[in-house]
Amino acid sequence: MMRTAGLTMNDVWAHRVLRERGVETYRLEGMAAEIGVLVESLDLKHRGKEENYRPYLHLTGELRSVTPAEALPFGISQVTYSPGQGEKVDAFYEFDDQQLVVLAGKGYFTNGFAVPEQITGIEWELPATADMLVLAPSGTQTEGDAPVVFTQVHDIGGLEIDLESSGYDLAGYFADHSTDGVSRAEVVVDERGLKARSDAINSLFTEDELDLDAEVEQVVGASVPEAAPAAGGMSMCLQQVEAEIAAEREQYQAERERTEGTTENLYRERVAAALRTAEEQDEPFAPPRPARDVQRDLDLDLELEEKEPRQQAGEPAPSLDERKRQVARRAADLDFGDNSEQSLGS
């Protein structure tokens, strides 16, 4: 019987051996074996709701050896791996119903129940199935020449084990916590009952919600230095928008003043121009008078001039028809008063 160091089947040399011709190899698949696993951690977990949260153990470790049920060619009885060279192993240990009864009797439902530490840090022997590739030694049989073995363990990342397959009754390793105190469920129920008995009236609000004085003091006394930059930024945005609106309004006003026939154009040409002239001459500006009033004043002036003799000698007096034509022309020149009032008022 012989033990030899092993290599994994995913090693590059395993593929090279399979491709080589004229090399003596032995390939064995689906062999029953026991694997040695150095247990690094052991956690108590639970299944889902559909399985009534049934507990199980999750074991993680490193592969250290593979021992086939039958000896391999050349008398190989075991393949070993150096620390750090073996594959990672994940195994899941299922408790049977009798073991669950034992765990419940040991205080599984108490707060102090925990996985025992003494079953970690040691090597376990677990059942498994493996494929093996054996490379025969060279025909020269030189001293120290030995066969090379490549192995591959099936489901190494999810081994399903239990009491029957592994032979380990892990429920027996758990300490008895039944006398440590009340169970976790009883603690929750007792806390709720104590709360109900101690309160004469069960309030709809919590103590935090009723602590309004502290909240009011925090709200009133708290300074808001960070709000100032936000308010300043908002003010600057509003000023910018107002400036843009004012610029658009001025542009629109200027376009209306340049467009003939608009109210703004008539005002600039007829009213604003006269206002500027009056201001330059320091004279009060009188609004335009209706044409009928102007015509009446002209007729009155004409009658007065006809009654009074002309003072300037040597200058011929215009005839009555000539005076009427002058008055008519003057009235036509001043006739814009009515139109301007109507256009400005519209």
pLDDT in tens, 25-77: 888 999 999 999 999 999 999 999 999 999 999 999 999 999 999 988 888 99
Q: Of 304, 308, 300, 306, nearest to 321 (Cα)?
A: 306
Say if CB 187 and CB 166 are below 8 A apart. Answer: no
User: For residues 99 and 194, what is the distance between their CA atoms, to the nearest angstrom?
Assistant: 35
Based on the number of CB atoms within 10 Å of its own CB, is 126 exposed (0-12), middle (13-18) or buried (19 or more)? buried
Using 50, 70 and 90 to split pLDDT, how confident is the model at 157? very high
Which residue has 């105190």 as its token pair?
181
φ, ψ at 326 (rounded to 5°):
-65, -40
User: 185-189, 269-273, 323-327: which range is least confident on average?
Assistant: 185-189
Q: What is the pLDDT of residue 89?
A: 96
Residue 158 pLDDT level (bands cut at 50, 70, 90): very high
Per-residue confidence band for 190, with pLDDT thresholds at 50, 70 and 90? very low
pLDDT category of residue 270 using cuts at 50, 70 and 90 = confident
Q: Decide if pLDDT at 193 tops 80.
A: no
Per the structure block, which two tokens stand in for 341? 């009032």
pLDDT over 90 at 296, yes or no = no
Per-position b or e across 231-264, b if 16+ CB within 10 A of its CB: eeeeeeeeeeeeeeeeeeeeeeeeeebeeeeeeb
pLDDT of residue 332: 65
Is the model more confident about 253 or about 212?
Answer: 253
Residue 211: pLDDT band by 50, 70, 90 thresholds?
A: low
Q: What is the mean pLDDT of the chain?
A: 75
Which whole number is the average pLDDT over 259-275? 77
320-333 vs 291-307: helix crossing angle, rounded to 10: 150
Give the residue extent of every domain in the chain.
2-186
Question: pLDDT, tens digit, for every residue of 246-255?
Answer: 888 888 888 8
> How many Å separate Cα 56 from the centre of its chain?
37
pLDDT band for 1, please (50, 70, 90 cuts): low
Q: Hey, which of 94-108, 202-216, 306-320, 328-342 has the most confident mean pLDDT? A: 94-108
